[in-house]
Structure formats: C-alpha cells, structure tokens
Amino acid sequence: MASPIHSEKSPAAFVSSPPPVSCASSSSAQHEIRQPPRNPSYSMPRGFDKLLHLEPESSPEPPPRRPSTQPRYHLHVRQQPMAARACGAGDRDRRPVDPPPIVQILLTDFDPDSQDDRDILQDPRFTVGCLLFPVPDTTGWTPSSEAESAERDADGVARADDSFTPLLSGKAFMSPFFVDADPDPNSAPTHPSSEDITHPLNTHPLNSTQSQSLRNASKLNQPATFFIFADLSIRSAGLYRLQFRLMNWGSVEDTGQSMPILAEAWSEPFRVYAAKDFPGMRDSSILAEGLKELGFVELKTRGNGKGKGRKRG
C-alpha cells in the first residue's frame, strides 16, 4: 500500500510543470486538461506534516489476563474430609480419606423449574479435579513415637521431600453424579442469588424465621449434582487441605481453547495420621448413605457406631 505522503490526494503529488509531450501525442494532449503550475507561495497547513508523518505510538500493554470463569458456577464442599491414615506406596495399601469428600455444584439464580438449569446440572462434560496442599502445623502435634516414624518409612510411605512419589493417590478427577432430589435436604446449601452477590448488605423483606422457612421449603425435592471422591489416599502423615477445581472439557471441543477453571473451593484442614495414631473411621453421613442408595456404589458406608477401627473412650 502506498504511503499517505504519495497518495493521489497529497499536495506532494503535484509537480511544478507538466511533463513534456511528444509531437505524436501533441494532438491528443491538447484535449487533456493540464494541471496548473504549483503556487510557489503554497505552504502546508501547520501541523499537517505531523499527520502525514505520524509515527505509531507504542500500544499500551494489555491488561493482565484474568482467569476464565463463569459467575453462575460455584463449588460447595458438602462433606468435609476429617482424617486419614497414611497409606503405603503400593496400590494394595489404600487408606481412603474419611469421610470421603463430597463436592456440590451450585448455580447463581438456579430455578428448579427451568429445564435449561436442569440441563446444566446434568451436563456429563463437567469434571472436578482435586489437588493436595500441605498446611503448616501450628498445633505442635507429633506422632506418638520416633519408632512409629521409622516404621512408616519402612512401609514405603512417601516423605514430604520425595518429589518422585506423589503424596495423593487414587481418583483425583471425578465426573458428575446427578440426582433428581437431594438425599439430605436438611444439610443442603441454598443456591446463591445474584441479588445477594451484588448487594450482600441488603436485608430480606421477610423476618429471619419466614426467610429460613422459605429456604428450607425450596430444598425439598431439589435436583443436585455431586462430585464424590471416594478413592483418595495420602502417603505421608501431616496436615493438609484439598483444593477442588470445576472444569468442563466440552469447552475444549467447542472453542478449541484451553480448558478454563469455572469455580474453585477449598476443604478445611484435616490430619493424616500414622497407623498407630489413627483414631478410626467414622460412621457414614445421611448424605453418603443416600447417595449410595441412589446408585453411587463406590461409596463404602458404615453406620450404627460400627465404623471400622474406631477407638472408643
């Protein structure tokens, strides 16, 4: 593309005198309109030269890239992990985190009567990944004896500085498990409202008792989607937290871009014990028992005070 300086509309394109015309073409040249001679007193308007010779300014740096998130999506840790027994390095020695973490997806302004919202909860392309993070132990708790620590190393349990052995083993990515009605509506969370998010200080027009009654009634027969981590084991004693990340691998197929993280949630800190210090498994919750009855057979439930290995006072 020609520079603006040499464009047809630029004053610099004019010449002081017309080019010579040959005799052969003199007859045809008479019919041509000759350009008038350039006025010697012509001067370019002030500042116009800067427009013609405009140098591109350095483009400003783009704003820092924000993580791709969808404001409608939220993760709620429905069942918190409480404890675990450190497992060995082999696959045969599996000691699941107790109770198994259960994560639920929530939608802003969820409408149980909306088929679109129900379709979102039933999207099989959702997945939640789990990451393990150590937590500084400020309680001063230590294993019961130095011998137990040596025994733990002899059993092949990975130490915190063993970079070649992952501390977290098992199924760290789970697919959604959809149910038509929450098996434990009494402990079910309320889907967030955009009004609460935008105006968190606004008071509800109803009193607290009426508001709570309406919220409890909305939980009855409400569909829900869970991500159940029934097969997580940790190889080293210590204090940890789990981070859960919601993703949808369908976005990769639809857009061809990297998979964005739609929502995140953290568990409360929990302790992983050596074998002699482990207090035992807890009885299963109403939620876990209900989910197993609804078809999630990977859950191992315990009830009526018969938790395996539970120490009694």
Q: Determine, yes or no, domain membership for 50.
A: no
pLDDT of residue 217: 53
83 neighbors 278 (Cβ within 8 angstroms): yes
Cα–Cα distances (Å) from 154 to 96, 159, 181, 198, 236, in that order, read 20, 11, 47, 55, 12
Which token pair is 138? 């400020």
Preceding peptide of 60 cis, ω within 30°: no
SS3 266: strand
The DSSP code sequence of 269-281 is PEEEE-GGG---P
Span 251-267, average pLDDT: 84
Asked if residue 256 belongs to a domain, the reply is: yes
Q: Is residue 123 part of a domain?
A: yes
Contact 280, 90 (CB under 8 A): no
Quote the CA–CA distance of 154 and 137 in Å, as a whole number: 24
**Site of tokens 């993760």:** 75
Mean of pLDDT over the chain? 73
Cβ contact 126:176 at 8 Å: yes
Chain centre distance of CA 187: 24
Stated as kind and residue range, the H or E segment containing 291 is helix 286-293
Tell me the pLDDT band of 144, cut-offs 50, 70 and 90.
low
Asked, for residue 304, whether it belongs to a domain, the answer is no
Is 110 a domain residue?
A: yes
**Spatial contact of 275 and 176, defined as CB atoms under 8 Å apart:** no
CA distance 50 to 35: 27
* Number of domains into which the chain is organized: 1
CATH code of the domain covering residue 186: 2.60.40.3960
Q: Confidence class of residue 157 from pLDDT cuts 50, 70 and 90?
A: very low
User: Average pLDDT of 185-199?
Assistant: 83
pLDDT tens column, 83-101: 999 987 766 777 899 999 9
**Which residues form the domain of 86?**
73-199+207-293
Identify whether 155 is part of a domain. Answer: yes
pLDDT confidence of residue 158: 40
Question: Residue 153 in 3-state DSSP?
Answer: helix
Distances (CA, A) of 286 to 26, 78, 103, 185, 261: 105, 12, 15, 10, 30
Strand pairing class (83-85; 270-273)? parallel
Asked if residue 21 belongs to a domain, the reply is no
Measured between alpha carbons, how far is 236 from 86 in angstroms, rounded to an integer?
5
Q: Given phi > 0 = left and psi -120 to 50 = alpha, else beta, which region is 256?
A: left
Question: Residue 17: CB partners within 8 Å, gap ≥ 6?
Answer: 37
Cα distance between residue 196 and residue 41, in whole Å: 72
Model pLDDT for residues 264-303, shown as the tens digit of each residue: 999 999 999 998 999 999 999 999 999 999 999 888 887 7
Burial of 191 (0-12, 13-18, 19+ CB in 10 A): buried
- Going by pLDDT thresholds of 50, 70 and 90, the confidence category of residue 64 is very low
Give the pTM.
0.65
Q: At residue 141, does pLDDT exceed 50?
A: yes
Cβ(129)–Cβ(242) below 8 Å: no
State how far the Cα of 17 lies from the Cα of 9, in Å rounded to an integer.
Answer: 18
Question: Which residue in 162, 156, 154, 155 sits closest to 134, CA to CA?
Answer: 162
SS3 115: helix
% of residues, the chain, pLDDT over 70 = 57
Domain-embedded: residue 184: yes
**Span 223-236, average pLDDT:** 95
Q: What does the alpha-carbon distance between residue 3 and residue 53 come to, in Å, rounded to a whole number?
A: 10
